């Protein structure tokens, strides 16, 4: 059997490696437009910041290492056409030569491509995107001769890169069109915390602000933001990515709301064609709605699951919680599940816990502040968590991911067993503290409901006992009353 993989990113290479792990006989060939494979794009800001010595250090494997496992990697080669009727692809190598290759199974792992906003001047010298090692090398080299940099987009990459460039001495401006930073994963009061931390460290943050134009003759000289011109030597577009679905569309793969539609085995609507990674859409584990999950962890899991499926193992890809974590300067931020804002859009009534606690025992030297926001449904099921602090954020986000995957409720989390030692944790874990706060609110609501029911029951006894009662409006007004008291968040 001949398996062709289009795309040499996390999902494509994971698929190829794991197929070989479970089957030594199939032929595997991977096509990638890039020169480098098996590297971590998430590490690019930290090479630019000097935490990692070289871009070579973030390349985990070379093409020849895959050849030693009998996996052929075709670098700098672009698949230009898929002829599904004859089960073959046409590719063009770096010298412009075109060839055809037959396949039995085809894996589309084309990932995403940078979303380039239609800003006048985006083609000037000194404007960069952040996607590949080559992008990182160009940014690092250009930053050495720059003084003022503007980053368009306040997501993870924009914040990480902005922080690193500011640490190198550049004057950084981050412009985000939304009213807050990192809007997909954090509520405003949490994003305000890391915005406050960033501002004043050679970083100016503008939220609710649009970059209207990038100005200059041949290279960047300034930018216009909300009608004001400010100096800039370089501009970095960190406005996210969009799924690259053109090849899948060309052979009739069904598209969903955002990207390629696949089932739990990563099968597309076209026989013997599969898709994994940033080019596919997924299901949100909380809302059940279609969403995207452009995360390396998602791509790797999908690759493993597809490889197992293709080699005869029964396994399914589950809905996602989109857990994320990032380090910005000395601060860590992480989130899992949905935000309170998303819950409001979905019409979900919630209680919310916002606690300021510590990462270690309060008396232990070096204990750091830790901010946690926990979002729970009224039945106690936790549907979202956000954290911000200087240490131990990633571990607790992972703990919350496990808790939410199992659909545990606040009372179960309060009674969970957590480890403790003064140098690394508190005797009552911050997660348990936040869950206890939500539980108290839920119990207060239940008490209000029980009290109201008792009053209604007492009033209903008497002369009109046999008269049918329509209490719909009373229940609705009572719910609104709880919201007005702040007991229910919606």
Catalytic residue among 42, 438, 453, 454: 42
83/67 Cα distance (integer angstroms): 27
Closest CA relative to residue 287, chosen from 338, 238, 323: 338
Taking the alpha carbons of 259, 264, 267, 270 in that order, is the dihedral positive or negative?
negative
Structure tokens at 377: 């449904």
- For residues 94 and 111, is the Cβ–Cβ distance under 8 A? no
Between the alpha carbon of residue 155 and those of residues 87, 238, 460, 464, the distances in Å are 40, 7, 56, 61
270/262 Cα distance (integer angstroms): 10
462 DSSP β-pair partners: none
400/433 Cα distance (integer angstroms): 13
* Axis-axis angle for helices 430-460, 393-405 (nearest 10): 40
315/325 Cα distance (integer angstroms): 27
* Axis-axis angle for helices 188-198, 156-167 (nearest 10): 20
List, in sequence order, every beta strand (DSSP E) within 41-163. Answer: 71-74, 78-83, 88-92, 98-102, 105-108, 112-114, 127-129, 148-152
- 222-230: long-range contacts, CB 8 A cutoff, minimum separation 24: 223/150, 225/150, 225/173, 225/175, 230/148, 230/150, 230/173
Neighbours of 269 (CB within 10 A): 15
Between the alpha carbon of residue 86 and those of residues 78, 246, 271, 273, the distances in Å are 19, 19, 13, 13
SS3 assignment, position 196: helix
- What is the β-pairing status of strands 369-377 and 71-74? unpaired
Closest CA relative to residue 361, chosen from 430, 418, 423, 431: 423
CA angle 228, 232, 238 (to 5 degrees): 95
Distance of CA 138 to the CA centre of its chain: 25
SS3 assignment, position 179: coil
Count CA atoms closer than 13 A to 180's CA, side-chain side. 15
Asked if 42 is an active-site residue, the reply is: yes
Give the catalytic positions in this structure: 42
């Amino acid at each position: 059997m001949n398996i062709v993989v289009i795309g040499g990113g996390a999902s494509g290479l994971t698929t190829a490696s794991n197929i070989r792990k479970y089957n030594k006989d199939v032929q595997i060939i991977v096509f990638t437009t890039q020169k480098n494979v098996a590297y971590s794009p998430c590490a690019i800001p930290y090479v630019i910041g000097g935490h990692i010595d070289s871009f070579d250090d973030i390349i985990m494997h070379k093409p020849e290492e895959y050849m030693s496992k009998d996996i052929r990697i075709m670098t700098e080669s672009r698949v230009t056409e898929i002829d599904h009727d004859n089960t073959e692809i046409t590719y063009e190598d770096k010298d412009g030569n075109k060839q055809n290759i037959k396949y039995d199974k085809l894996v589309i792992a084309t990932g995403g491509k940078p979303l380039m906003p239609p800003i006048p001047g985006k083609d000037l010298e000194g404007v960069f995107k952040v996607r590949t090692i080559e992008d990182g090398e160009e940014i690092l080299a250009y930053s050495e001769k720059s003084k003022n940099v503007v980053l368009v987009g306040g997501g993870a990459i924009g914040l990480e890169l902005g922080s690193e460039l500011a640490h190198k001495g550049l004057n950084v401006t981050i412009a985000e069109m939304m009213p807050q930073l990192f809007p997909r994963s954090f509520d405003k009061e949490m994003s305000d915390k890391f915005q406050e931390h960033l501002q004043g460290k050679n970083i100016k943050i503008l939220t609710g602000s649009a970059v209207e134009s990038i100005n200059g003759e041949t290279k960047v000289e300034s930018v216009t933001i909300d009608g004001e011109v400010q100096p800039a030597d370089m501009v970095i577009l960190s406005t996210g990515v969009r799924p690259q679905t053109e090849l899948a569309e060309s052979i009739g793969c069904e598209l969903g709301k955002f990207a390629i539609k696949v089932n739990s085995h990563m099968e597309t609507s076209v026989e013997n064609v599969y898709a994994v990674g940033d080019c596919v859409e997924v299901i949100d584990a909380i809302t059940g709605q279609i969403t995207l999950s452009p995360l390396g962890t998602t791509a790797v899991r999908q690759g493993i699951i597809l490889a197992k499926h293709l080699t005869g193992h029964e396994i399914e890809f589950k809905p996602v919680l989109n857990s994320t974590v990032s380090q910005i300067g000395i601060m860590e931020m992480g989130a899992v599940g949905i935000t309170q804002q998303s819950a409001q859009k979905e019409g979900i009534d919630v209680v919310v816990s916002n606690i300021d606690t510590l990462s270690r025992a309060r008396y232990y030297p070096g204990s750091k502040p830790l901010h946690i926001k926990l979002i729970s449904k009224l039945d106690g099921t936790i549907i979202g968590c956000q954290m911000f602090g200087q240490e131990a954020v990633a571990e607790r986000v992972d703990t919350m991911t496990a808790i939410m995957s199992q659909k545990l409720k606040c009372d179960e989390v309060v009674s969970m067993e957590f480890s403790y030692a003064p140098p690394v944790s508190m005797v009552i874990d911050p997660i348990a503290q936040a869950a206890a706060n939500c539980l108290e609110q839920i119990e207060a609501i239940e008490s209000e409901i029980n009290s109201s029911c008792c009053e209604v029951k007492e009033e209903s006894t008497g002369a009109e006992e046999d008269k049918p009662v329509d209490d719909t409006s009373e229940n609705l007004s009572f719910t609104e009353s709880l919201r007005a008291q702040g007991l229910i968040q919606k």
